Amino acid sequence: MPFQCDAAKPTCSQCRRAGRKCSGYRNLDELRLVDQSTEVSSKVRKSKRKTAQPPLGYEVESSPSSSSATSEELVEVNSVVSAFPTASFWLEGNAKNIFFQQYTCGPDKSELDFANSVYRSRQTTGMLESIITALGLVALPKENRNMAMMNLASRKYLSALQQTQTALLEPRRAKSDETLATVLLLGLHELVAVDDHPSDRSRLSVHLNGAIKLLELRGDHQLTSFCNSRMYDRACTQIMYTSIMSRRPMPSAMLKVSRGLRHQMHQEEISGADLLEMSARLCLALNAVDRAATIEDHVSIFHALVALENEIVAWENSLSWRFDVSKQPIENPDKSFLRFQESYLNRLAGSSRNRYRCVRIVINEEIVRLAETHPQILDLAGADAPFTVERAKATILSMSQEICQSVPYFLGQDSCRDWREESLDPPTMFGGSAMLMPLYFAANPKRISPAMHQWLLQQVSRIGRETGLSKVGEMFADRGVVELT
């Protein structure tokens, strides 16, 4: 009920000046709140249709999926993000939260934990925040994202790229933790980019080469913190896998950096550096196979691969307890290769174990392939050559089975259940990206059982369905059909 006007006459003279009879009550129409949100939203939409353009002077590449998005979709989200700052803050803030939930492991060590450390250091200028936001949006499962969100992710990626290019022009900023962290995450973005922004291997190479140059620039005394060690680990992992997949020599600059940092390394980094050196020798052998012209060349490479296999086995036996593997039995009567599941001290140790297994699989696959392609090797490489080839086949199977047993640790316990059932423990982006290369090397249909091969591809399917890694089917094209529906 309205309150009685308490302004005593003749003090209140509003009615007299307005020429109306005083009712004794205030004008209620002046106090009424009018909802004009519809009119405001309409004005915003009209203005966006006239002025919308790519930010920062960049043009986002078009694609079949992006061109099919309706203008109403893009306008709607652009209106929310641009017209209402609180909504923009909410969207980008949630994307950053998703990144830290999906890519980092909290108290458990992983290669990507450097992002958390650098971000919380309060010494950032915005480029790291931009790529974190982009990766957070990419981490959304396919059914939970739309083209407008991916458009925002692309803008954030381009913003991080432009800010990084600016930072590289300033010597102090070029050496900063934020710059190296951003470059490493830009490389990660090329690996996990979604349908409308497909992975570009040439851009990945640019980012990896940039990371190597930054590591060189930072000098031989940079492993002074947990954060710096994790960035070194991440660079080693990406460069190792990329070099093996391309069958090209590993960049000599990366090996030089690793050797220069060895005096600062703890046991975990030393083990990673050792594996990097052996991977470099493997890459030289793979490249030599592709260029070999005579049977003598192939025999020489065969002997080099056998020597490398013996060396890496001896190295594995000398590893620190930090890399020990614990095996627990699991109920899986239908899968003989999955009677156990592995656990590790932390995810960093688990990732190192799987890198070691991948290197051994590639070494032994090349030994078998050489013997199958050039049968004369069995006569020319010595009396033990046939036994060596059979042992190589057994090693491939054993390493692939161990990778299977590591899957529940990285992708969750649901990996042991029927893959068609609804997932109660879905894989994270970190787990998915950490397991993609091990799954790829393990899923060779020529060297493992059909049941194991099918199960491995089902895990790839889970990663594709339940994370933002929806392009995994293309990566596994030579390993078999990956069904993502």
Please state, in angstroms and as integers, the Cα–Cα distance from residue 89 to each residue in 125, 288, 315, 444, following that order. Answer: 17, 53, 50, 46
Q: What is the pLDDT of residues 315-339, one digit of tens each?
A: 999 888 888 899 988 876 567 788 8
289 and 186 both lie in a single domain:
no
Answer whether residue 48 shows pLDDT above 80.
no
Banded model confidence at residue 12, pLDDT cuts 50, 70, 90: low
280 and 135 both lie in a single domain:
no
Q: Is residue 161 assigned to a domain?
A: yes
Q: Is residue 141 assigned to a domain?
A: yes
Which domain does 366 fall in, by range? 266-485
Lowest mean pLDDT among 7-11, 96-100, 247-251, 265-269: 7-11
Q: Is residue 441 assigned to a domain?
A: yes
pLDDT for 354: 96
Please state, in angstroms and as integers, the Cα–Cα distance from residue 239 to each residue in 170, 171, 233, following that order. Answer: 26, 24, 10
Q: Is residue 171 assigned to a domain?
A: yes
User: In the block, which residue shows the tokens 């059979």?
Assistant: 390
Exposure of 20 by Cβ count < 10 A (0-12 exposed, 13-18 middle, 19+ buried)? exposed
Answer whether residue 13 shows pLDDT above 80.
no
Distance CA 366, CA 285 (A): 9
195 and 331 both lie in a single domain:
no
Answer whether residue 309 shows pLDDT above 80.
yes
Residue 170 sits at φ, ψ, to 5 deg, of -110, 115
Tell me which DSSP letter residue 91 carries. H
401 and 425 both lie in a single domain:
yes
pLDDT for 88: 55
Per the confidence metrics, is the pTM higher than 0.75? yes
Q: What is the pLDDT of residues 129-176, one digit of tens each?
A: 999 999 998 887 666 777 778 888 889 999 999 999 999 999 999 999
Banded model confidence at residue 481, pLDDT cuts 50, 70, 90: low
Average pLDDT over residues 23-42: 51
Q: Is residue 390 assigned to a domain?
A: yes
Q: What is the pLDDT of residues 200-243, one digit of tens each?
A: 567 888 999 999 999 999 998 888 888 999 999 999 999 999 99
271 and 245 both lie in a single domain:
no
Structure token digits, residue 460: 């790839």
313 and 461 both lie in a single domain:
yes
H or E stretch covering 343: strand 340-343
Of 485 and 253, the one with more pLDDT: 253
Q: Is residue 155 assigned to a domain?
A: yes
Cβ neighbours of residue 143 closer than 8 Å, sequence gap 6 or more: none
237 and 316 both lie in a single domain:
no
351 contacts 434 by C-beta, under 8 angstroms: yes
Of 342 and 465, the one with more pLDDT: 342
Do you know the residue count of the chain? 485
Answer whether residue 105 shows pLDDT above 70.
no
Q: Is residue 381 assigned to a domain?
A: yes
Average pLDDT over residues 178-196: 84
Distance CA 296, CA 301 (A): 9
- Mean per-residue pLDDT over the chain, rounded: 81
Answer whether residue 452 shows pLDDT above 70.
yes
- What whole-number percentage of the chain has pLDDT above 70? 74
85 and 227 both lie in a single domain:
yes
Look at residues 252, 274, 289 and tell me which one is the last residue of a structural domain: 252
Please state, in angstroms and as integers, the Cα–Cα distance from residue 171 to each residue in 160, 216, 369, 376, 465, following that order. Answer: 18, 13, 48, 57, 43
Distance CA 392, CA 385 (A): 10
Average pLDDT over residues 274-287: 97
User: In the block, which residue shows the tokens 């009615």?
Assistant: 15
Closest CA to 399 of 440, 431, 458, 434: 440
Helical H runs in 84-200?
85-103, 114-119, 127-138, 147-167, 171-174, 177-192
86 and 177 both lie in a single domain:
yes
SS3 for 433?
A: helix
Q: Could you write out the DSSP letters of every residue in 186-199?
A: HHHHHHH--TTS--
Look at residues 252, 285, 307 and tell me which one is the last residue of a structural domain: 252
Of 32 and 482, the one with more pLDDT: 482
Look at residues 204, 219, 252 and tell me which one is the last residue of a structural domain: 252
Lowest mean pLDDT among 110-124, 239-253, 299-313: 110-124
Answer whether residue 383 shows pLDDT above 90.
yes
Q: Is residue 18 assigned to a domain?
A: no
pLDDT for 214: 95
291 and 232 both lie in a single domain:
no
342 and 226 both lie in a single domain:
no
Closest CA to 282 of 212, 380, 361: 361
Q: What is the number of domains present in the chain?
A: 2
Closest CA to 99 of 126, 128, 121, 77: 128
Burial 165-204 (b: 16+ CB within 10 A, else e): eebbeeeebbebbbbbbbbbbbbbbbbbbbebbebeeeeb
Answer whether residue 363 shows pLDDT above 70.
yes
Structure token digits, residue 219: 């000098």
406 and 273 both lie in a single domain:
yes
